[in-house]
């Protein structure tokens, strides 16, 4: 099966065509600079590599952090027919946004008359149990896309839980393409400095669990709190014997 082209703009933002519709993950297009959030400062270090000319659906893992949805990204949402996100995020964003709970699906009409199913899947934005993490870092959702004659595609969102990945693999594996948020972001003030999104070794393990034919990492460069980049990803996937699956788009 032909690989789905994925264009990565930097940070967590990637564009891909699936079933005749164009999808964008967590839109971040602001110039480099600082963002103040409760108890911390986020610093964007490099500009985005362009911007999309057309988007049908935004897959927004969460709306509460500027490294996943910045000012330019919020402006873009007003131009997009549909944003799929967390239930809480949909309430905050309002018109054009729909929340997906775990395992909840929505059917999208394809231009050729078929349908695409987008299913919300678990994501935990930090180490430990979801009920302990969400009060601190907020609710996050991942997505799985399926359709007749189409490859299965997984977008992890800001997830640090391999247990969540195991559940997703049980429901949908093997996965053709996994867009994995990685970068091992961490803050001294959160969870004792533990990673709050997959590190490189965890991303390789997620690829193994999913049986992913291809992994396109995002969310590993462009921000100061990302602590592992391309070299760490290459090393981890090589160590795991999965170097041929890594696609640094």
Token pair of 93 as six digits:
């964003």
Q: What is the pLDDT of residues 5-14, one digit of tens each?
A: 999 999 999 9
Q: What is the pTM of this model?
A: 0.96
pLDDT the model gives residue 209: 98
Range of the domain at 48: 6-241
Percent of the chain with pLDDT over 70: 98
Q: What is the pLDDT of residues 96-155, one digit of tens each?
A: 999 999 999 999 999 988 999 999 999 998 898 899 888 888 899 999 999 999 999 999
In a domain, 20, yes or no: yes
Q: What is the dihedral of CA 64, 66, 70, 73, to 10 degrees?
A: -60
- pLDDT exceeds cutoff 60 at 211: yes
In a domain, 92, yes or no: yes
Label residue 231 by pLDDT band (50, 70, 90): very high
In a domain, 246, yes or no: no
In a domain, 33, yes or no: yes
In a domain, 153, yes or no: yes
pLDDT the model gives residue 1: 57
Q: What is the pLDDT of residues 47-87, one digit of tens each?
A: 988 889 899 999 999 998 888 999 999 999 999 999 999 99
d(CA 98, CA 104): 11
Mean pLDDT, range 225-236, rounded to an integer: 96
pLDDT the model gives residue 2: 66
In a domain, 249, yes or no: no
Residue 229: which CATH number? 3.60.15.10
Token pair of 171 as six digits:
């429901």
> Hunting for tokens 């997703």 — which residue is that?
168
Number of domains within the chain: 1
Q: Where are the beta strands (DSSP E) in 114-184?
A: 115-123, 140-146, 153-155, 177-181
In a domain, 78, yes or no: yes
Mark 61-93 as b/e (b = at least 16 C-beta within 10 Å). bbbbbbbbbbeebeebbeebebbbbbebbbeeb
d(CA 224, CA 218): 15
In a domain, 45, yes or no: yes
């Amino acid at each position: 099966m032909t690989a789905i082209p994925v264009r990565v703009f930097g940070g967590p933002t990637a564009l891909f065509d699936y079933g005749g519709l164009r999808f964008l993950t967590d839109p971040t297009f602001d110039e480099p600079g600082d963002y103040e959030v409760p108890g911390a400062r986020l610093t964007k270090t490099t500009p985005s590599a362009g911007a999309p000319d057309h988007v049908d659906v935004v897959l927004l893992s969460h709306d509460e952090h500027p490294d996943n949805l910045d000012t330019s990204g919020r402006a873009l949402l007003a131009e997009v027919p549909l944003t799929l996100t967390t239930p809480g995020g949909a309430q905050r964003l309002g018109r054009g946004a729909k929340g997906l709970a775990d395992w909840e699906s929505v059917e999208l009409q394809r231009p050729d008359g078929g349908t695409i199913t987008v299913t919300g899947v678990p994501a935990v934005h930090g180490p430990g149990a979801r009920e302990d993490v969400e009060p601190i870092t907020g609710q996050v959702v991942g997505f799985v896309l399926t359709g007749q004659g189409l490859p299965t595609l997984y977008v992890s969102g800001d997830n640090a839980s391999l247990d969540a990945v195991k559940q997703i693999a049980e429901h949908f594996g093997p996965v053709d393409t996994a867009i994995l948020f990685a970068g091992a972001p961490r803050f001294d003030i959160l969870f004792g400095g533990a990673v709050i999104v997959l590190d490189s070794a965890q991303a390789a393990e997620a690829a193994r669990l999913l049986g992913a034919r291809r992994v396109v990492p995002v969310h590993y460069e462009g921000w100061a709190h990302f602590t592992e980049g391309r070299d760490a990803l290459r090393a981890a996937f090589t160590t795991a014997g999965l170097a041929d699956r890594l696609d640094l788009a």
